[in-house]
Every structure is written in C-alpha cells, then in structure tokens.
Amino acid sequence: ATHLVWLRNDLRLHDNTALYAACRDPNAQVLALFIATPGQWRQHAMSPRQADYIWHSLQALQQALAARGIALHYHQCEDFHASVAYLQTFCQQHHVSALFYNYQYELNERERDAAAEKALDRMKIEVQGFDDSVLLAPGSIRTGNGEMYKVFTPFSKAFLKRLRDHTPECFPAPGKRTPQALKHTPALHPFDYPREAFDPALFPVGEEAVLKQLRRFCHQPVADYSQQRDLPAREGTSRLSVCLAVGTLSPRQCLNRLLAEHPHALGGEGGAAVWLNELIWREFYRHLLVAWPALCRHQPFVDWTDGVAWESDKTPLEAWQQGKTGYPIVDAAMRQLNATGWMHNRLRMVTASFLVKDLLLDWRLGERYFMSHLIDGDLAANNGGWQWSASTGTDAAPWFRIFNPTTQGERFDQHGEFIRRWLPELHEVPDRDIHAPQAWAKKNGKTLDYPPPIVEHKEARKRTLAAFEAARKR
Ligand code: FAD
C-alpha cells in the first residue's frame, strides 16, 4: 500500500493527525505532498512574510520527514482548482492507494477538498480526512437547540466542560519507516510568490524551536499573562500565532503543555486559564466559519451593518496604513505591523476600531490590509477580530462603544515606551505629552516631523454614531 499525506496548514511531524494515521500501517510506503498555489494565495491576500514562514517551515519539515524515511514532494500550480488536477496525476504516478489529510475550514478550501475527494473516489483511492487544527471539531459544541453558539461566554463554558470530560491527547511523531534515511530528497523550489524575511528570534521555525518557545511560555510567562497581555511594550504573550496559523504547532500541543505546567487551567483561574480562553476564542471563530460560511465571503454577521454609509474618500486609509494618523498609539502599532508582520492584540483592536469608527472606513479594507501584512494571517481569527471591532460580528463590541485612541494609549502604554520604539520622531516629547505630541509641540514652539491628528476624535465619534444609527433604522 502507498499512503499519501497531503500537507497544507499542518506543517509538522508531531501531533499531526493525518500523518499519524497514514503511518499506522507499518508496511505501507508513506509519501507526503505539498502543493503551492500562488494564484490562490494572491486571491486570499496572503502576506509575503507568511509565504516566507511557510517556505522555511517546509524546508525544515522535509528534512525531518526524510530522516524518518518519508519523502516530501513539492509542486506548484496556479490555484486550488489546478491543485486537485495535480493531486490526481500524482496519485496515479505514485500508485497511491489511500490519501490522508487534515481539514481546513474556509470555504474555498472546503470546496477544493470536496472536489479532491470526489475525484479520488472515482479513481478508487481511499480518502481519510481529519479534524486537526482545532481542539474540538466544528459543530461538536452546540446549544440546547443543537445550534452553534452566537455568544462566546456560553460557548467557552460548554467548551471547557467538554475538555474537562475528555482532554484531547497529542499523537506522537511517526517513527523511522526504514532503517536508512532517504537516498533522494525531492526538489523544493521557491514558490512564485513574493516573500519577505521575518525575524526568526520572534517567530520560531522548525519544530524544535517552536516547541521550545511553547515550553518556555507555559513554564513561566503564562502565569503573568493576565497582567502582561495588554501591555504592548512587554513580551507578555506567546507569539505562537503564526505557528498555529500555519500549523507548525497544534492547539492540542498548546493545551497539553499548558496542563502539564498548570494542571488547574481548566478550572478557570489565573493566567493559564486566561491564555486557554484565548485559544478558545480561536476555536470559536473557526466553529463560526463552518456554521456561517458567508463569513468567508466577508459578509457581516449582523445584516443591517452592511447599510452603514462608509466614507468613499480613501486618502485616510493610506495614512492609517503607513502609521501617519497623528495618533501615536495607532501609528506605532501600524509601524510594528509593517516592520515585523505582527501586531499586539490590544493594538489590533485599537487600530481596527480607529479605521472603522474614527475614519468611518469599511472594515473589509482593514481586514484585507491586515491579511496582506500579518505573518499570522488567518481568515477565521482575522475576520472574527475585524467583525468584533467593527461591531458587525456576533458577540462583537456594541456599535455605540467607541475606543478613544488617546485614552487607549494612556492606559496601555502609559509612559510611551512602545510608542517611542516605533516613532523615533517623538523622542524629545516628554512622557506626559507622548499621547498628544502636536499639542505639546505647539505649546513649546517646536516642530515635529509627525502629522497632526487626521481626524478629531470627538467629531469622528459623533459622525460614526450617526452613520450606524441611520443604518440600523433603515
Ligand atoms: P497569545 O496572546 O499568546 O494567544 C495565544 C493564541 O491564541 C494565539 O497565538 C492565537 O492563535 C490565539 N488567539 C489569541 N487571541 C485571539 C483572538 N482574539 N482571536 C482568535 N485567536 C486568538 N490572530 C491570528 O492568529 N491571525 C489573525 O489574522 C488575526 N487577526 C486579528 C485581527 C484583529 C482586528 C484582532 C482584534 C485580532 C486578530 N487576531 C488574529 C487575534 C490576536 O490578536 C492574535 O492571535 C494574537 O495577537 C497573536 O499573538 P500571540 O500568539 O502572542 O497571542
């Protein structure tokens, strides 16, 4: 028998459900295949940093698999449609008898997988799919009426109860399949897609480094997570999001490591429980995508919000993208994103709120910009985060609650430590004026190489409330 593992967003050896299943038969020859689809990636606005992370992870995985006697083959074609055609050719050429793969939950991905299953069925190839990128399968946590939860807190309660009843375990990495390592490793060609370098000190590549970062975080920092996680100047969060998005790490690995260090995390106390709660937000958004596939088409969850009359002048969008809005916390955050491919969670909320509620720009413009720049870009989490911030989502921030960007800066970066890191042009502004530097400059007769605020928050707030109110009444 020849077993093929079709790798996508699951670029790891450890706790990879499909890989584990493919290797269970000791006599089967096991092959792996990754198909790059640059045309599809362009359509999905994948960021060049994520492409680079995938590229490096793929190289690391190919070596790790080769050491166990599994050849990772590589092919590039335009899009998902073409990838299904190539999969058939590959199966034919290599006499594949069974295909193993882990599900992806986005709409185009699901359509591709349905087409692949159908095609292989015609070829009499057995296909086995697995829920792998989640702790609990979408659809498995339901209300008393058998529906998907629309509100996070009861979802999370039901989720925790399920985890307490049964904690999903990790599958071991496959053992060596042949006494020798592979004689020949298939060629890996760089994809025909823009790539941008990332800092491997921030985003670990290779499973050893990834697991080390998980271990380190769960050993100590997670205990202080509740106090540190909202302070962007601190390294208070795990920075594992790209690993979870691309699948160099699984949520089961996170959960089991967390419980090994903090056995009471499922009880709802302390930093460990708060971190677990974030992992459950990740699950919530994935489960939502499956229950409401229209989210994948960027439709708002709350219909009436589609009637908001967004601003048509896109000039402020550029200022937001470049970190030149005149609001230091917003600008520092956008520059962190542009320079590193990552932004602190608190600041994702602040910058998203600013785009939607201060600039009155359509949240989908921000969603796409984030996707095209985030190393951890993930449709479910990104769409969920944007719809939360824009008040268009389920269990979102209420539409009339609008962050004040100055106050947010004062609360979460009191002395401007984070702001100064990204806005060197404000170095001479004293701490107490760092959140309103232009007012300070005016008072002191200074000239700053920094723009005045592009909107006045109070006025912007009024305009937005009126626009949402009008849409709601329509
Ligand atoms: P930690 O605080 O260590 O959290 C651990 C893990 O939990 C994260 O790695 C992530 O996988 C998950 N997680 C944490 N917070 C959330 C959340 N609110 N929603 C869903 N999952 C969460 N996260 C992405 O992974 N990809 C995105 O494209 C993305 N876009 C976002 C857009 C907006 C507007 C907002 C408000 C949030 C977005 N998030 C996204 C969620 C969150 O900001 C990041 O997951 C987090 O900042 C990543 O840093 P970390 O790994 O250090 O997180």
The pLDDT value given to residue 181: 67
Report how far ligand 1's centroid is from the alpha carbon of 154 (Å): 20
- What is the arithmetic mean of pLDDT over 440-465? 97
The pLDDT value given to residue 314: 86
- What is the arithmetic mean of pLDDT over 35-47? 98
Helices 345-353 and 363-373: angle between axes, nearest 10 degrees = 140
325-340 burial: b if 16+ Cβ within 10 Å, else e: bbbbbbbbbbbbbeeb
Residue among 87, 115, 58, 134 nearest 378 (CA): 134
pLDDT at 183 over 90: no
- CB-ligand 1 contact for 279 (6 Å cutoff): yes
Burial class (CB in 10 A: 0-12, 13-18, 19+), 247: buried
pLDDT tens digits for 88-102? 999 999 999 999 999
Which top CATH class is 303-473? mainly alpha
Report how far ligand 1's centroid is from the alpha carbon of 246 (Å): 13
What is the homologous superfamily of the domain 2-130 according to CATH? HUPs (3.40.50.620)
Residue among 111, 87, 120, 85 nearest 7 (CA): 87
The pLDDT value given to residue 185: 85
- CB-ligand 1 contact for 385 (6 Å cutoff): yes
Bridge partners of 457, per DSSP, are none
The pLDDT value given to residue 68: 94
The pLDDT value given to residue 283: 98
Residue among 451, 182, 380 nearest 367 (CA): 380
Amino acid at 451: P
- What is the arithmetic mean of pLDDT over 165-175? 97
Residue among 223, 243, 25, 271 nearest 133 (CA): 243
Mean pLDDT of the chain, nearest integer: 97
The pLDDT value given to residue 44: 98
Question: Relative to the CA of 239, which ligand 1 atom is closest?
Answer: 52
pLDDT tens digits for 354-390? 999 999 999 999 999 999 999 999 999 999 999 999 9
Question: What's the rounded Cα separation, in Å, for the pair 88 and 394?
Answer: 40
Residue among 389, 378, 313, 298 nearest 346 (CA): 389
User: What is the pTM for the complete model shown?
Assistant: 0.97
Residue among 168, 103, 109 nearest 133 (CA): 103
Domain with CATH 1.10.579.10 in the chain: 303-473
pLDDT at 271 over 90: yes
Report how far ligand 1's centroid is from the alpha carbon of 415 (Å): 25
Residue written as token pair 């000190």: 201
Instruction: Extract the tokens encoding 287.
Output: 């489960």
Report how far ligand 1's centroid is from the alpha carbon of 442 (Å): 38
Give the range among 72-76, 138-142, 184-188, 283-287 with minimum mean pLDDT: 184-188
- CB-ligand 1 contact for 434 (6 Å cutoff): no
Burial class (CB in 10 A: 0-12, 13-18, 19+), 395: middle
- What is the arithmetic mean of pLDDT over 161-177? 96
Report how far ligand 1's centroid is from the alpha carbon of 236 (Å): 13
Domain with CATH 1.25.40.80 in the chain: 133-169+207-291
Helices 315-322 and 328-340: angle between axes, nearest 10 degrees = 70
* ipTM score assigned to the predicted complex: 0.99
- Of 367, 376, 378, the one to substitute when testing ligand 1's pocket (max ligand atoms within 8 A of C-beta) is 376
Instruction: Extract the tokens encoding 378.
Output: 């993930």
The percent of residues in the chain predicted with pLDDT above 90, rounded, is: 97
Q: Which residues are catalytically annotated?
A: 278, 281, 310, 345, 363, 386
pLDDT at 288 over 80: yes
pLDDT tens digits for 58-83? 999 999 999 999 999 999 999 999 99
Q: Which fold has domain 133-169+207-291?
A: 1.25.40
- CB-ligand 1 contact for 280 (6 Å cutoff): no
Residue written as token pair 């060596």: 176
Question: Relative to the CA of 351, which ligand 1 atom is closest?
Answer: 34
Domain with CATH 3.40.50.620 in the chain: 2-130
Question: What's the rounded Cα separation, in Å, for the pair 126 and 200?
Answer: 39
- CB-ligand 1 contact for 247 (6 Å cutoff): no
Question: Relative to the CA of 285, which ligand 1 atom is closest?
Answer: 20
- Of 250, 282, 346, 353, the one to substitute when testing ligand 1's pocket (max ligand atoms within 8 A of C-beta) is 282
